[in-house]
Chains A and B, each alone.
Chain A
Amino acid sequence: MSYTIEGNTGAWEIVVGLEVHAQVISNSKLFSGASTLFGGEPNSHVSLIDAGFPGMLPVINHACVEQAVRTGLGLKARINLESRFDRKNYFYADLPTGYQISQFELPIIGTGVVQIELSDGSTRDIGITRLHLEQDAGKLMHDQDPKRSFVDLNRAGVALMEIVSEPDIRSPEEAGAYLRKLRQILRYLGTCDGNMEEGSMRADVNVSVRKSASEPFRTRCEIKNVNSIRFVMQAIEIEAARQIEIWENGGEVDQETRLFDPHKGETRSLRSKEDAHDYRYFPDPDLLPLVIEQSWVDQIKQTLPELPDEKRARFQQDYGITAYDAGVLVAEQATADFYESVAKGRDGKSAAAWVTGDFFAALNRTGKSIEESPVSAANLGAMLDLIADGTINGKIAKEVLEDMFETGETPLAIVDRKGLRQVTDTGAIEATADEIISKNADKVAQYKGGKDKLFGFFVGQVMKATGGKANPAIVNDILRKKLDG
């Protein structure tokens, strides 16, 4: 299963490490009381601190620290009880103070691990090197006016978690799986909404290649600010191919920062190592070291939700469903919760089939999220009960479900309104069967002559004649007796 790229000189392995910037869900910014709401009028969520006014001082927002600790616990990582904020100094028009407050030497979170699942059903552990807190920069808009640039500092100072992975990723698929898993964990924890379109999650991708696992890592290039999982996967493939071509042609890959252009399908140099920034980190003298108590960490631990890995295992165990179905169901916490209230006290497998099958299909068709679903978990469960007690059969249930999506009514109300109760009256079914048999004497002869497949035709005719409401098992029984007897 190991992923390699065939070059002219043989197989190459790729080595990838990801730095994910995840925007912390918090009401106010990392060092100021300004709001973090997305989509406000430009500069409507800016304090004097975020704008870097003279004499302004940062004050650490406790809620953001709690979110970082929560994330650290979710990544099964070491929580550093003492960490420190440093200034990262570089001239950048988006930085109102001329430096970014980040954590360099002593991050709040140390090593952890994320387990990824691959398409062949296998799992792998990807190491987390660290997670640190830092401020986001502002935004400059240069194309709104012929002579002026506009500044929007709404995001300046918003808390970001930079989550750095070990160079453990060996294929584009693994990178995709890692990002999906990370996003899933963050969403479960409620620490980042993982919304890549709004930029609340973005990745810097470090790529290098090597001939074999025993060879040391070769020069890596960093692809900055990739904003979708698909693009990350594409960028890795394209960048690895570029590097292999250079090595195989006797060249040398330069360590540099590149950007990915998805339209042209290429990575381009942004800046080379020579003019790379010298960040001149030093401890921020405006902030005291961040010291937290183990007891507080323990308290946060108590409030952690069941995380996707554990939930998946439990679903398989408790509801007897496949690893695949369990994986689909735990992808989002809302889906998992929905499934669980449908499945509780019912047949887990059939609940899984209905939720991942017709129910998801209907959501997709109507373009609704699970939170907006017109069919509640209770109603879907009630529908499964109607199947189980023989009030309706599976085929009618599909019709009922569709109606539920339109009307939001309970399944029983729909069954009654439309008269969909299953016919189990053997007398009535027998009469219909007799009628069908007498109408199709030629088919009966053919069936008796050995054309077994025609049995399905008779079943179909009886079902059609009863408007689909006949109990299929009874129909089968009666037809067998009449045709074979």
Chain B
Amino acid sequence: MLTDLTIAQAAEGLRKKEFSAVELTKAHTEAVEALNGRVNAYITVTSDKALEAAKKADSTLVAGEAPPLTGIPLGIKDLFCTNGVRTTAASKIIGNFVPPYESTVTAKLLENGAIFLGKTNLDEFAMGSGNLTSAFGSVENPWHRKDDASVLVPGGSSGGSAAAVAARMAMGATGTDTGGSIRQPAAYCGIVGLKPTYGRCSRWGTIAFASSLDQAGPMTRSVEDAAIMLSAMAGADPKDSTCATVAVPDYRAACGRSLKGLRVGIPAEYRAPGMSEEILAVWQKGVDMLREAGCEIVDVSLPHTKYGLATYYIIAPAECSSNLARYDGVRFGERAEGATSLDDLYEKTRHNGFGEEVRRRILMGTYVLSAGYYDAYYLKAQKVRTLIQRDFTQAFEKVDVLLTPTAPTAAFARDEKPEDPVQMYLNDIFTVPASMAGQPAMSVPVALDGKGLPLGLQLIGKHFDEETIIAVGSALEKAAGFTARPDLRAGVSA
């Protein structure tokens, strides 16, 4: 089936004329049509545009010299502004926004020949770990527990992207990761999710959640595909001051590279209390596989890990409270009726336009930045952030890459959603520290748990050393031989 191919395989097939870009795209638009009603992975479907682009891709392929992603159908997280296509951030407040510009990352993908199937669902403004906060409804994880019909969450915030890739409704998708929003849903959906170094991909044209943390990255069904997509997405951008002017290597070349003599760090602090035996077992399995591949396993310490989550939930809301101030009902969002003053207009519009989680974070952020609390919260958090960064710097003096679990559990069911938001935040406990330090990190699916749900392991690398995590990730992928597929997917009746 065309929808089961990886990007690498499809690119080869297109060039060998085994099938056309139109055929490949059609297979995907049909899958989207068949499954989206249930999975809800896409907020906006652009099948007509995709098929039109596929025709062009076919003529490019005939002419030869086609860029690497020519004819490859992708899903785009609905946080990337796309020229002329509705971009919602899964929020009511900009639910009808059609940007007159293309984000740098999606523009680069288009230049590389990619075809966009539509805009994938997410937690509202990327705030959430279960894709339960979207104003356009939640996403269903294509995986299910053995003998259990419960609807599971795909993880968040890039849950739509993860589900689309897992269910073969896209060959790959873009995600954004602020505290784990690529890696955690990738782990929940049994796919590869790569968060590059902060500054590796431009943020221009991506709707901001927390500017000092947000980073775009690929979500795919293989490490090689992630490498191919990242090469297309990454690179300097004069329009983003925080985007690094570091040359982009050919990431694909790092796949299959020998791991002989590579030092893999196992951070003691990631052995969190109450962690399931299954997660610990998978972690151990990963250690064994890497040792076998020629790596040296080194115990390391990241002593400030325990403050990661608390610090994150000060800094990210602080930045979001500021970034979301522009949605005030004057230019964006449905303006509230019956406002009696300007402040009242802001209050009513923002109350109606933002969901509960977004409002919660705006309130937290406003609180931690306010006079009298700034020093106690924000400033302190910045200091702790520096210590977390130092932990990584020191660890990377001893090792080349770190191996940890991606998430403390497998995907949970919608109705098991913790009532306490802080419990919910714990899903990000292993992904947040790397985000705070700007390190690149990747989740690779390694095994199924006893209930048949995918579990992922996380590789954390040095700044701008995505190549090493890709090399290690592809070895892990090969050793794990993860071939399981979700029961909800293209070609299988929903």
Q: A97-B326, A98-B326 are in contact. Are A288 and B242 (CB under 8 A)?
A: yes
Whole-angstrom CA separation of A281 from B378 in the bound complex: 11
Chain A interface residue count, Cβ-Cβ cutoff 8 angstroms: 27
Q: A98-B322, A99-B322, A282-B318 are in contact. Are A89 and B369 (CB under 8 A)?
A: yes
> Do B325 and A97 touch (CB < 8 A)?
yes
Using Cβ atoms and an 8 Å threshold, which residues of chain B touch A55? Answer: 80-81, 99, 101, 103, 203-208
> Do A91 and B343 touch (CB < 8 A)?
yes
> Do B370 and A52 touch (CB < 8 A)?
no
Using Cβ atoms and an 8 Å threshold, which residues of chain B touch A282? Answer: 318-319, 322, 369, 374, 378
- Considering the complex, which residues of chain A in the window 55-90 have a beta carbon less than 8 Å from any beta carbon of chain B? 55-60, 87, 89
> Do B239 and A286 touch (CB < 8 A)?
no
Using Cβ atoms and an 8 Å threshold, which residues of chain A touch B371? Answer: 278, 280
> Do A60 and B322 touch (CB < 8 A)?
no
B328 at the interface (CB under 8 A from A): yes
Using Cβ atoms and an 8 Å threshold, which residues of chain A touch B211? Answer: 285-286
CB proximity of A98 to chain B, nearest CB, Å: 3
Closest to A288 in B: B241
B11 at the interface (CB under 8 A from A): no
> Do A54 and B87 touch (CB < 8 A)?
yes
> Do A278 and B370 touch (CB < 8 A)?
yes
A413 at the interface (CB under 8 A from B): no
> Do B207 and A54 touch (CB < 8 A)?
yes
A387 at the interface (CB under 8 A from B): no
Chain B interface residue count, Cβ-Cβ cutoff 8 angstroms: 44
B76 at the interface (CB under 8 A from A): no
What are 5 contact pairs spanning A and B, CB under 8 A? Answer: A55-B80, A89-B369, A96-B331, A280-B366, A285-B210
CB proximity of A425 to chain B, nearest CB, Å: 79
A113 at the interface (CB under 8 A from B): no
Mask: chain B, 201-227; 1 = CB below 8 Å from A; 0 = not: 001111110111000000000000000
Closest to A140 in B: B330
Whole-angstrom CA separation of A91 from B327 in the bound complex: 11
Whole-angstrom CA separation of A52 from B100 in the bound complex: 13
> Do A287 and B204 touch (CB < 8 A)?
no
Using Cβ atoms and an 8 Å threshold, which residues of chain A touch B87? Answer: 54
B22 at the interface (CB under 8 A from A): no
Using Cβ atoms and an 8 Å threshold, which residues of chain A touch B332? Answer: 54
Whole-angstrom CA separation of A99 from B87 in the bound complex: 23
Whole-angstrom CA separation of A113 from B324 in the bound complex: 40
A445 at the interface (CB under 8 A from B): no
Using Cβ atoms and an 8 Å threshold, which residues of chain B touch A58? Answer: 241
Using Cβ atoms and an 8 Å threshold, which residues of chain A touch B346? Answer: 91
Q: A280-B366, A280-B370 are in contact. Are A91 and B328 (CB under 8 A)?
A: yes
B240 at the interface (CB under 8 A from A): yes
- Considering the complex, which residues of chain A in the window 291-332 have a beta carbon less than 8 Å from any beta carbon of chain B? none
A93 at the interface (CB under 8 A from B): yes
Using Cβ atoms and an 8 Å threshold, which residues of chain A touch B80? Answer: 55
Contact residue among B89, B239, B369 (Cβ-Cβ distance under 8 Å from A59): B239
Using Cβ atoms and an 8 Å threshold, which residues of chain A touch B324? Answer: 98
> Do A52 and B238 touch (CB < 8 A)?
no
A48 at the interface (CB under 8 A from B): yes
Using Cβ atoms and an 8 Å threshold, which residues of chain A touch B369? Answer: 89, 280-282
Contact residue among B89, B325, B374 (Cβ-Cβ distance under 8 Å from A91): B325
Using Cβ atoms and an 8 Å threshold, which residues of chain A touch B331? Answer: 51-52, 96
A53 at the interface (CB under 8 A from B): yes
Closest to A96 in B: B326
> Do B81 and A285 touch (CB < 8 A)?
no
> Do A89 and B319 touch (CB < 8 A)?
no
Whole-angstrom CA separation of A287 from B321 in the bound complex: 17
Closest to B103 in A: A55
Whole-angstrom CA separation of A286 from B207 in the bound complex: 13
Contact residue among B239, B241, B322, B328 (Cβ-Cβ distance under 8 Å from A87): B322
Closest to A31 in B: B241
Closest CB pairs A-B (n = 7): A98-B325, A285-B212, A285-B211, A280-B369, A55-B205, A54-B207, A52-B326
Using Cβ atoms and an 8 Å threshold, which residues of chain B touch A281? Answer: 369, 374
The SS class assigned to the A binding surface is: loop
> Do A54 and B239 touch (CB < 8 A)?
no
B94 at the interface (CB under 8 A from A): yes
Whole-angstrom CA separation of A54 from B208 in the bound complex: 7
Using Cβ atoms and an 8 Å threshold, which residues of chain A touch B240? Answer: 57, 59
> Do B206 and A286 touch (CB < 8 A)?
no
Whole-angstrom CA separation of A324 from B485 in the bound complex: 91
CB proximity of A142 to chain B, nearest CB, Å: 11
Q: A89-B325, A278-B370 are in contact. Are A53 and B241 (CB under 8 A)?
A: no
CB proximity of A453 to chain B, nearest CB, Å: 78
> Do A99 and B239 touch (CB < 8 A)?
no
Whole-angstrom CA separation of A56 from B205 in the bound complex: 6
Closest to B372 in A: A278
Using Cβ atoms and an 8 Å threshold, which residues of chain A touch B313? Answer: none
Using Cβ atoms and an 8 Å threshold, which residues of chain B touch A53? Answer: 99, 101
CB proximity of B238 to chain A, nearest CB, Å: 7
In the complex, given contacts A56-B205, A57-B203, A89-B321, what are 7 additional A-B residue pairs having Cβ atoms less than 8 angstroms apart? Answer: A56-B204, A89-B322, A93-B342, A97-B326, A98-B324, A285-B211, A285-B319
Whole-angstrom CA separation of A57 from B203 in the bound complex: 8
Mask: chain B, 336-373; 1 = CB below 8 Å from A; 0 = not: 00000011001000000000000000000010011100
CB proximity of B35 to chain A, nearest CB, Å: 29
- Considering the complex, which residues of chain B in the window 86-129 have a beta carbon less than 8 Å from any beta carbon of chain A? 87, 89, 94, 97, 99-101, 103
CB proximity of B349 to chain A, nearest CB, Å: 11
Whole-angstrom CA separation of A288 from B212 in the bound complex: 10
- Considering the complex, which residues of chain B in the window 184-212 have a beta carbon less than 8 Å from any beta carbon of chain A? 203-208, 210-212
> Do B242 and A286 touch (CB < 8 A)?
yes
> Do B326 and A48 touch (CB < 8 A)?
no
> Do B330 and A93 touch (CB < 8 A)?
yes
Closest to A49 in B: B239
Whole-angstrom CA separation of A51 from B239 in the bound complex: 16
- Considering the complex, which residues of chain A in the window 256-301 have a beta carbon less than 8 Å from any beta carbon of chain B? 278, 280-282, 285-288
> Do A98 and B328 touch (CB < 8 A)?
yes
Whole-angstrom CA separation of A307 from B457 in the bound complex: 66
Using Cβ atoms and an 8 Å threshold, which residues of chain B touch A99? Answer: 322, 325
> Do B370 and A54 touch (CB < 8 A)?
no
> Do B241 and A60 touch (CB < 8 A)?
yes
Using Cβ atoms and an 8 Å threshold, which residues of chain A touch B242? Answer: 285-288
> Do A54 and B89 touch (CB < 8 A)?
yes
Using Cβ atoms and an 8 Å threshold, which residues of chain B touch A51? Answer: 331
Closest to B101 in A: A48
CB proximity of A280 to chain B, nearest CB, Å: 4
CB proximity of B439 to chain A, nearest CB, Å: 17
> Do A59 and B101 touch (CB < 8 A)?
no
CB proximity of A341 to chain B, nearest CB, Å: 45
> Do B241 and A286 touch (CB < 8 A)?
yes
> Do A59 and B241 touch (CB < 8 A)?
yes
CB proximity of A151 to chain B, nearest CB, Å: 8
> Do B241 and A287 touch (CB < 8 A)?
yes
CB proximity of B177 to chain A, nearest CB, Å: 16
- Considering the complex, which residues of chain B in the window 210-260 have a beta carbon less than 8 Å from any beta carbon of chain A? 210-212, 238-242
CB proximity of B313 to chain A, nearest CB, Å: 16
Whole-angstrom CA separation of A287 from B326 in the bound complex: 18
Whole-angstrom CA separation of A99 from B101 in the bound complex: 23
Using Cβ atoms and an 8 Å threshold, which residues of chain B touch A285? Answer: 210-212, 242, 319
Using Cβ atoms and an 8 Å threshold, which residues of chain A touch B239? Answer: 57, 59
Whole-angstrom CA separation of A144 from B319 in the bound complex: 36
Whole-angstrom CA separation of A9 from B238 in the bound complex: 64
Closest to B205 in A: A55
Whole-angstrom CA separation of A287 from B242 in the bound complex: 6
> Do A54 and B241 touch (CB < 8 A)?
no
Closest to B371 in A: A278
Using Cβ atoms and an 8 Å threshold, which residues of chain B touch A60? Answer: 241
CB proximity of A56 to chain B, nearest CB, Å: 7
CB proximity of B214 to chain A, nearest CB, Å: 9
Whole-angstrom CA separation of A83 from B240 in the bound complex: 19
Whole-angstrom CA separation of A297 from B219 in the bound complex: 47
